[in-house]
Amino acid sequence: MAEGYIEDSIITLDWKEHIRRRPGMYIGKLGDGSASDDGIYILVKEVVDNSIDEFTMGAGSEIRITIEDRKVIIRDFGRGIPLGKLVDVSSKMNTGAKYDSEAFKKSVGLNGVGIKAVNALSEYFEIQSFRDGQSKTVLYSRGEILKESDVVMSNEHNGTLVTFVADNEIFGNYNYIRDYLEAMVRNYVFLNAGLNIYFNGVKFFSKNGLYDLLVENISSDYLYPIIHLKGEDIELALTHGRQYGEEYYSFVNGQHTTQGGTHLSAFREAIAKTIRDFYKKDLEVSDIRTSVIAAISIKVQEPVFESQTKTKLGSRDIGPEGPTVRNFIMDFVSKELDNYLHRNPETADILWKKIVETEKERKAMAGVQKIARERAKQVSLHNRKLRDCRVHFSSNHERKTESSIFITEGDSASGSITKSRDVNTQAVFSLRGKPLNSFGLTKKIVYENEEFNLLQAALDIENGLENLRYNNIIIATDADVDGMHIRLLLLTFFLQFFPDLVRAGHVYILQTPLFRVRNKKETRYCYTDEEREKALKELGPKPEITRFKGLGEISPDEFRNFIGKDIRLEPVRLTKNDSIKGILSYYMGKNTPERQDFIIENLYVEKDLVQ
């Protein structure tokens, strides 16, 4: 008989308790808002998705989103939830209209889970429906009903109003970052031409769909006019830029599938095949797709996503009786892209010259690449640079999204992090001295420079992000001039050769405390002068003050406090107005009087680069 395994060991959780105990099953990772896929943004998205579904069904062309501090208010002008079902829809799992395929044929969410997760994970959640001159309101806290109103008369237009404040018991000291919210809103309007979204009073609107999305997101020159093709249940836009790598934006039923899926794989395959067939040449796939910038959106009946957060499509079929996703996309791209290239010979000529140029560079690097790969494998065998984490040997996909790699310099710093880390999800890569300034160099340097070659191999990003081994790439350097210089050199490397790493939100700067203030009863770690002054006042007379000059001065036991659940990360972000070439030229090019003046006035020069 198994000890301790009895009838009383078997428990049944109600819906809200299950969500609160296992939030990752419903909204992915929690986070504090520093990453675009943190849970607080998923909560906003779950509510807005319902409003978008109303728009796609032809009900309501306006959505209003207001976020003040931590309070989120979302009002749509759809049909409004049937008043008698308002409680069921907001607090009973697997309840909703989307099981009826005729009502929501190609909806974002089909399982009736999202809004309940928002409810259970909010300390304040109020939902109000306006329908045919009547209204009803229900107020909750952490899934428990606090107040349910009667049905009353109303002069408001039909629709739904949701107000919530995410629970700090679950999310801790979180904050919303405006750039992430704006990016979410922009994607919604790009995918729903004609929809007006007001975010904190500012109007967002798109007339040309994915064409507008590429125009908005391309920060460098593109080689030929954007190709914009639309069909029933499919829309795509593509061009080639001057950057290394591939850049894709993929969507299913209006959902931004940041991790791709069957539709993106088919799209990438279709681009290569169609261009090969058009030029009647057996071209290398990498030569065709290097520097491509593209977006695809498809509509799928009853889509199957690989998780509740819907970031990766698993569906292989368009619908119960439709073609496979692959065949549907291949057929459309093969026909429409081929027709476009025949009708636009100037574009076809520019594209051909780009492919030939990429082929020449690839062949010139072939020998160097082979030697570099062998060297990387040999170093990996002896574990000289990388102290890996165990998550790569696990089949738990959700845990892999938690994986991080710290890039640090010096034996003492890497030693402290290595001893303090979570060996399951955190890896450490040790640099030897300052990296090379790669600004203005070709990608050949990635293979010839040992540090860059081994870093690329550790991340597994030589052929794009599909095999990226760590979700979070964390630059961990001292908070002095040398440390900041190393940060800039690493950011230059990523932005120059792997900009999609930054665009996809994978790169961060580790924030570590500048001071330790303590008395006999309490220890405070302070990240700013303001925090230090506050600690001095609150801890009383003559507390001990320690100024940390480098990561190596922080003991492993203390370091555990800074890279655990309370880790502070500064995301490296690129906005729509950022030109990678312009940024790198300013910071890493030849010295100019303007840059010298800026550095004198702003010691923390990397701040402007990562905002």
Q: Is 22 exposed, middle or buried (0-12, 13-18, 19+ CB in 10 A)?
A: exposed
Pairing of strands 255-256, 247-252: antiparallel
**Mean pLDDT in residue range 32-43:** 88
CATH tag, 15-204: 3.30.565.10
CA-CA distance, 22 to 89, in Å (whole number)? 21
**Bridge partners of residue 569, in order along the sequence:** 510
CATH class of 383-512+548-610: alpha beta
**Mean pLDDT in residue range 358-386:** 72
Report the range of poorest mean pLDDT among 180-189, 407-416, 483-492, 515-524.
Answer: 407-416
Q: What is the pLDDT of residue 413?
A: 80
The pLDDT-based confidence of 110 (bands split at 50, 70, 90) is very low
Q: What is the pLDDT of residue 350?
A: 96
**Mean pLDDT in residue range 113-121:** 89
Nearest to residue 209, comparing CAs of 193, 225, 232, 187? Answer: 193
The pLDDT-based confidence of 482 (bands split at 50, 70, 90) is confident
- Does residue 347 contact residue 227 with C-beta atoms inside 8 Å? yes
Half-sphere exposure of 421 (CA within 13 A, CB side): 25
- Does residue 213 contact residue 259 with C-beta atoms inside 8 Å? no
Take residue 86 and report the two structure tokens written for it.
């308002």
DSSP 8-state class, residue 167? -
CA-CA distance, 71 to 168, in Å (whole number)? 12
535-557 pLDDT per residue, tens: 998 888 888 998 887 787 788 88
* Most confident by average pLDDT, 18-22, 329-333, 369-373, 414-418: 329-333
Q: What is the pLDDT of residue 40?
A: 94
CA-CA distance, 67 to 50, in Å (whole number)? 18
Q: What is the pLDDT of residue 385?
A: 81
Nearest to residue 427, comparing CAs of 449, 445, 450, 400? Answer: 400
Take residue 75 and report the two structure tokens written for it.
């009002």
The pLDDT-based confidence of 497 (bands split at 50, 70, 90) is confident
**Mean pLDDT in residue range 121-134:** 95
**Could you confirm whether domain 210-352 is CATH 3.30.565.10?**
no
CB neighbourhood size of 503 (10 A): 21
Task: State percent of the chain over pLDDT 90.
Answer: 40
248-280 pLDDT per residue, tens: 999 988 888 877 788 899 999 999 999 999 999
Average pLDDT of the chain is: 83
422-470 pLDDT per residue, tens: 999 999 999 888 888 888 888 888 888 888 888 988 898 887 777 888 9
**Mean pLDDT in residue range 188-192:** 93
Residues contacting residue 509 through CB under 8 Å, at least 6 positions apart? 474, 475, 487, 569, 570, 572, 606, 610
399-416 pLDDT per residue, tens: 667 899 999 987 778 888
CA angle, 20 as apex, 14 and 21 as ends, to 5°?
85
Q: What is the pLDDT of residue 104?
A: 46
Q: In Å, how far from its chain's centre is CA 335? A: 32
- Rounded to 5 degrees, φ, ψ at 51 are -70, -35
CA-CA distance, 398 to 403, in Å (whole number)? 10
Task: State percent of the chain over pLDDT 70.
Answer: 82
CA-CA distance, 27 to 25, in Å (whole number)? 6
Take residue 173 and report the two structure tokens written for it.
């000291």
CA-CA distance, 288 to 276, in Å (whole number)? 8
318-338 pLDDT per residue, tens: 665 567 888 999 999 999 999
- Domain ranges in the chain with CATH number 3.40.50.670: 383-512+548-610
User: Is the pLDDT higher at 124 or at 101?
Assistant: 124
CA angle, 216 as apex, 203 and 587 as ends, to 5°?
120
CA-CA distance, 33 to 36, in Å (whole number)? 7
Outline where 460-513 has alpha helix (H).
481-497, 499-503
Q: What is the pTM of this model?
A: 0.74
Q: Does position 129 have pLDDT exceeding 70, yes or no?
A: yes
- Does residue 244 contact residue 226 with C-beta atoms inside 8 Å? no
CA-CA distance, 222 to 38, in Å (whole number)? 32
Q: What is the pLDDT of residue 592?
A: 56
Q: What is the pLDDT of residue 370?
A: 73
Q: Is 168 exposed, middle or buried (0-12, 13-18, 19+ CB in 10 A)?
A: exposed
81-100 pLDDT per residue, tens: 999 999 989 888 755 555 45
CA-CA distance, 336 to 161, in Å (whole number)? 42
- Does residue 165 contact residue 171 with C-beta atoms inside 8 Å? no
- Domain ranges in the chain with CATH number 3.30.565.10: 15-204
